[in-house]
Structure formats: C-alpha cells, structure tokens
C-alpha cells in the first residue's frame, strides 16, 4: 500500500466506529515500513464464499440464502452509516472482496483507501478522476466523473446481484453476452416469470418466490441508470430486513 493510500485509510478508517466496519486497531509508518493492524475476520471475504473453490478443486459448499441475506443487510448497514456520517463518506470501492466476515458471519466493510468525503451542503456530487473496479462503477461516474452516495448504491446493487446469482460481475470466460453480469441479468430481473433464471441454482428451495421478487426489484432500483432514482442505503437496509423476516417464517 502506498504511503498516500495508507494516510487515506487512517484518516477515514481510524475516525469511525460501527459494527459493520472492520476495526483498525493500530498502525505504524516508520521509515519505509507501513503496517496497518485490523481486527481478525475469521471467515475471510464474501468473495471467497461466493466464488472460490477449496484446495484440490473441491467445490465449496454454497452459502445458504438466509446467510446471504444477513451478510447483505450487514454490508448495507455499514454503507448507510457512512452515508449518514456528519461529513458524508462515499466508500467508492464496494465489491465482495471488501466485505469481510467474522466467525459468526457478521459482515464488515474493509479498506478506505478510495473513500472520499461527499459533496458540501447544497451540492449533488463531487467531481473526481475515475477510480474503481470495472463492473462495479456507476455509469454516471464513468461518463462524467460525478460521484455521489448514489454511486455507492449502484455498486451495492452489483454486489446484491452477485450474491443472488453466485456469478461474478465480470467474467471473461463466460459467453460474450454474459460477460457483464448486469447487462445480461437486467432483462430477467424485469420479468417476474424469469426471476428463477438468475437465482443461484444451488439455492433451489431455500427462498420464497415473493422474497426473490422483492430482491430483484431492489436490485433494479439500485442499478437504475438515473442516480436520483436509486434508493438511499437506509431504504435498502429496510427492504432487505423485510425480505429476511419473510424468509425466516419459512
């Protein structure tokens, strides 16, 4: 990690505390050594559990739907906290590898090297050079350099879609029409009769059709091309909790 990135991480991460943000326990920046010490997250990242296989090529057991919902609620709660901070923080780096899980699968956000303060009162966005990972960056940020909290909402929509489908946002090994997950899945999300086509086949029988329908509707809202039409993260949290409550009654 570059020294400038380390300072950014400390400036943001060292000043906030929330159950869904990984704790920065300490750091050292002596000479050329830069060390950051975080709390231990025993289960690794969401990416590991969604996409990777165990050593020897053994396929990893799929995360159950109820656990995926819990992780999504936690991650959404962390983002909602950042967006409601006294000086709003735009995370700008949400993807499954940045969502870590403790021994009880409580999810927490890691890595504030790309975080930036939100716009001043009365402004709708901040203008900044394009930084981020292809497949997760909001379209308005790509085309104009305008960044807002709603850009994070788009990124969350991509993670939500990945968690529902068990597929990566971008995979060059898939057929050309499926390489970009959002572009491929959008027509299925908009058609309630085809929702089953995008849900991870390993989740068969684990979810209510109404819950899956609400999840797809929420995904579409988060991925709306117009940032002003996307929900706020606190709305996302409430919708996910509603789905979670619905599924717990199965």
Q: Is the dihedral of CA 223, 224, 230, 235 positive or negative?
A: negative
Question: Quick one: pLDDT at residue 26?
Answer: 77
Question: Quick one: pLDDT at residue 37?
Answer: 81
Contacts with 214 (C-beta within 8 Å, 6 or more apart), sequence order: 239, 242, 243, 246
* Distance separating alpha carbons of residues 162 and 181, to the nearest angstrom: 8
Question: Quick one: pLDDT at residue 3?
Answer: 47
Question: Quick one: pLDDT at residue 1?
Answer: 46
**Is 36's pLDDT higher than 90?**
no
Question: Quick one: pLDDT at residue 85?
Answer: 83
Q: pLDDT confidence of 77, banded at 50, 70, 90? A: very high
User: In 22-149, at which residue ranges do the beta strands (DSSP E only) sit?
Assistant: 24-28, 35-38, 44-45, 89-90, 99-101, 107-109, 116-117, 126-127, 146-147
Per-state percent for the chain, helix, strand, coil, to nearest 5: 50, 10, 40
Question: Quick one: pLDDT at residue 121?
Answer: 75
* Distance separating alpha carbons of residues 199 and 173, to the nearest angstrom: 20
CA angle 150, 72, 130 (to 5 degrees): 35
Question: Quick one: pLDDT at residue 58?
Answer: 63
Over residues 26-43, the mean pLDDT reads 79
CA angle 94, 100, 106 (to 5 degrees): 115
Q: What is the pLDDT of residues 206-240, one digit of tens each?
A: 999 999 999 999 999 999 999 999 999 999 999 99
pTM (two decimals): 0.92
* Distance separating alpha carbons of residues 36 and 137, to the nearest angstrom: 27
Question: Quick one: pLDDT at residue 59?
Answer: 62
Question: Quick one: pLDDT at residue 31?
Answer: 65
* Distance separating alpha carbons of residues 98 and 47, to the nearest angstrom: 8
Contacts with 95 (C-beta within 8 Å, 6 or more apart), sequence order: 47, 133, 136, 155, 158, 159, 169
Q: Which of 1-15, 120-134, 169-183, 235-249 has the lowest mean pLDDT?
A: 1-15
**Is 83's pLDDT higher than 60?**
yes
Over residues 39-50, the mean pLDDT reads 93
Question: Quick one: pLDDT at residue 54?
Answer: 53
Question: Quick one: pLDDT at residue 61?
Answer: 79
Question: Quick one: pLDDT at residue 96?
Answer: 97
* Distance separating alpha carbons of residues 3 and 34, to the nearest angstrom: 7
Between these two residues, 144 and 29, which has the higher pLDDT value? 144
CATH numbers and ranges of domains, the chain = 42-248 (1.10.510.10)
Question: Quick one: pLDDT at residue 27?
Answer: 72
Q: Which of 19-33, 40-54, 165-179, 203-217 has the lowest mean pLDDT?
A: 19-33
Q: What is the pLDDT of residues 103-159, one digit of tens each?
A: 999 999 998 888 899 888 768 788 888 888 999 999 999 999 999 999 999 999 999
Average per-residue pLDDT for the chain: 89
């Amino acid at each position: 990690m570059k020294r400038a990135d380390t300072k950014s991480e400390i400036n943001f991460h060292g000043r906030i505390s929330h159950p869904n943000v990984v704790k920065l326990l300490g750091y050292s920046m002596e000479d050329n050594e830069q060390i950051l010490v975080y709390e231990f997250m025993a289960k690794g990242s969401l990416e590991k559990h969604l996409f990777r296989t165990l050593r020897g090529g053994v396929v990893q057991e799929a995360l159950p739907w109820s656990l995926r919902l819990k992780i999504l609620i936690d991650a959404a709660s962390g983002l909602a906290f950042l967006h409601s901070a006294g000086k709003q923080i735009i995370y700008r780096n949400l993807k499954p590898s940045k969502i870590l899980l403790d021994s009880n699968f409580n999810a927490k956000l890691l890595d504030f090297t790309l975080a930036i303060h939100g716009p001043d009162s009365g402004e709708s966005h901040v203008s900044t050079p394009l930084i981020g990972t292809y497949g997760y960056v909001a379209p308005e940020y790509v085309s104009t350099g305008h960044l807002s909290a709603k850009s994070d909402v788009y990124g969350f929509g991509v993670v939500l879609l990945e968690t529902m489908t068990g597929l990566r946002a971008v995979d060059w090994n898939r057929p050309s029409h499926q390489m970009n997950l959002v572009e491929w899945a959008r027509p299925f999300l908009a058609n309630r009769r085809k929702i089953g086509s995008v849900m991870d086949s390993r989740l068969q029988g684990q979810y209510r059709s109404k819950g899956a329908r609400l999840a797809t509707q929420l995904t579409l809202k988060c991925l709306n091309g117009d940032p002003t039409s996307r929900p706020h993260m606190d709305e996302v949290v409430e919708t996910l909790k509603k789905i979670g409550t619905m599924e717990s009654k199965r």
